[in-house]
Amino acid sequence: MKIGVLALQGAVAEHMKSITLAGGEPVAVKRTEQLQELDGLIIPGGESTVIGRLMRKYEFVDALHDFAAQRKPMFGTCAGMIVLAERIEGQEEAHLKLMDMTVARNAFGRQRESFETDLSVQGIDETVRAVFIRAPLVTAVGPEVEVLSTYKDEIVTVRQEHLLACSYHPELTHDYRMHSYFLDMAREARG
């Protein structure tokens, strides 16, 4: 499985390492032409406003809508989750608007700006180690969106058919099971 990591800004190398550990072949994606060869794409954490601006500059917006329309799996982590969301609290314009959910940026406040925890994620045996850094929260989901995990009653992992998103950084630990889960989605999509 060839899994791309959108390499405009953010935690790209770490995702590539986790994809390799999970048995996939990672590709750093800098040009839209590269999307054709992929079985799935990860949008990494970083700064969603910067990723959004660079996506527009390098013409990724239409290209990624085509990619999603082909039912190819996408996985947004942290800022990547914000990029996939249809609505962003307090912001007029969202980015890709592919997942029927509302997110709030930097939602944990100053005290909990960055922390690590173990999460139960539906579909994965045993808890997953998750690193939260100025993380977003999902504040509302549409009927198509499945909640895969919560942290203190707040939604932090979601799936909408071939689209997966989480508030945290699964690539900053040695635990690559979220990447294995995503590789399974890519295998299923390829049939």
Site for ligand GLN in 107-136 (CB under 6 A): 133-134
Tell me if residue 188 is catalytic.
no
Angle subtended by helix axes 12-21 and 177-190, to nearest 10: 70
- Catalytic choice (14, 86, 95, 171): 171
CB of 82 to ligand GLN, least distance (A): 5
Count CB-CB contacts under 10 A for residue 70: 11
48 lies in the site for ligand GLN, by CB under 6 A: yes
CB nearer to ligand GLN: give 29 or 103.
Answer: 103
Please identify which residue in 13, 25, 30, 47 interacts with ligand GLN, judged by CB under 6 A. 47
CB of 8 to ligand GLN, least distance (A): 13
- Token pair listed for 180: 């294995």
Tell me if residue 78 is catalytic.
yes
Site for ligand GLN in 77-106 (CB under 6 A): 78-79, 82, 105-106
76 lies in the site for ligand GLN, by CB under 6 A: no
Tell me if residue 166 is catalytic.
no
CB of 137 to ligand GLN, least distance (A): 11
CB 143 within 8 A of CB 158: no
Q: Which residues contact 68 (CB under 8 A, 6 or more apart)?
A: 74, 96, 98, 162, 163
CA distance 20 to 143: 34
Question: Which whole-number Å values give the CA distances from 23 to 81, 96, 138, 179, in the listed order?
Answer: 23, 28, 30, 9
CB nearer to ligand GLN: give 103 or 183.
Answer: 103
Which helix (H) or strand (E) is 40 found in, with range? strand 40-43
Q: Which stretch binds ligand GLN (CB under 6 A): 29-37, 75-83, 121-129, 155-163?
A: 75-83
43 lies in the site for ligand GLN, by CB under 6 A: no
Question: Which whole-number Å values give the CA distances from 44 to 12, 34, 123, 125, in the listed order?
Answer: 6, 17, 22, 24
**Which residue ranges make up the site for ligand GLN (CB under 6 A)?**
45-48, 78-79, 82, 105-106, 133-134
| Catalytic residue numbers, as ranges | 78, 169, 171
